[in-house]
Amino acid sequence: MSKNSDDYLIFSVGILFGVLSGVVAGIMFSPKSGVEMRRELKGMAKNFSREVPTDVDIAKKTFYRSMDRLKFALEAQINKINEAVKAGRLASAKRKEEMESGY
């Protein structure tokens, strides 16, 4: 690993630690009782579990659409290249024929 990537890794771990520490501190010092907090966290987890699959499905559909567009664009470029190669071969064969016939 290079020094630069090590710096990014250390920074990322620091950010993650800071976020997790903030969440824990927020839960510990919240004005709600433990029962209320657990109930609220449970509700948040249920909402999260309902929302995430739909977001994942949307992302998958977008990804597949993008891949289809990319595939189409690549096929079009490959076809152009193949046509150019065919034209080059045809021109080469024609030129060779002209040279052999003394034209």
The answer to whether residue 82 scores a pLDDT higher than 90 is: yes
CA gap 45, 20 in Å, rounded: 17
pLDDT at 90 over 70: yes
- Go through 10-37 and write b for each residue having 16 or more CB atoms within 10 A of its CB, e for each that does not: eeeeeeeeeeeeeeeeeeeeeeeeeeee
**27, pLDDT greater than 80:** no
When divided into structural domains, the chain yields a total of 1
Going by pLDDT thresholds of 50, 70 and 90, the confidence category of residue 25 is confident
Average pLDDT, rounded, for the chain? 85
Q: Which residues contact 32 (CB under 8 A, 6 or more apart)?
A: 40
Enumerate residues 6+ apart whose C-beta is below 8 A from 27. 37, 41
What's the domain range around 68?
A: 31-101
- The pLDDT, as a whole number, for residue 2 is 58
Residue 6 included in any domain: no
Report pLDDT for 101.
84
Looking at the domain assignment, is residue 89 inside a domain? yes
**3-state SS class at 2:** coil
Does residue 4 fall inside a structural domain?
A: no
Inside any domain, residue 1: no
Asked if residue 36 belongs to a domain, the reply is yes
Alpha carbon distance 24, 31 (integer Å): 14
pLDDT of amino acid 69: 93
pLDDT digits (tens, 9 = 90+) for 40-54: 878 887 887 777 777
In a domain? residue 93: yes
pLDDT at 9: 83
87 in a structural domain: yes
Inside any domain, residue 56: yes
